[in-house]
Amino acid sequence: MVVTCGVTGISPHWLDQITDDGQIVVPVAQGAFHSTLSVTATAPVCSARSPNP
């Protein structure tokens, strides 16, 4: 799933729709910045990381 608008958080509904091998890529607003966040779901744990160094 690719989100193309800045959000302030990851929707629980998005997490419900992601498959075990799926990924959500989303720009997350943090003050004046929009960091890109990559979220993957591996049951039963969901992890997130910034793909930018």
DSSP H/E element including 37: strand 33-42
Parse the chain into domains and list their residue ranges.
12-49
pLDDT tens across 9-40, in order? 888 898 888 887 888 888 888 777 778 888 88
Cis peptide before 53, with omega less than 30 degrees from 0? no
pTM (two decimals):
0.65
Per-residue buried b or exposed e for 21-34, using 16+ beta carbons within 10 Å of the residue's own CB: eeebebebeeeeee
Token look-up 């498959």 returns 19
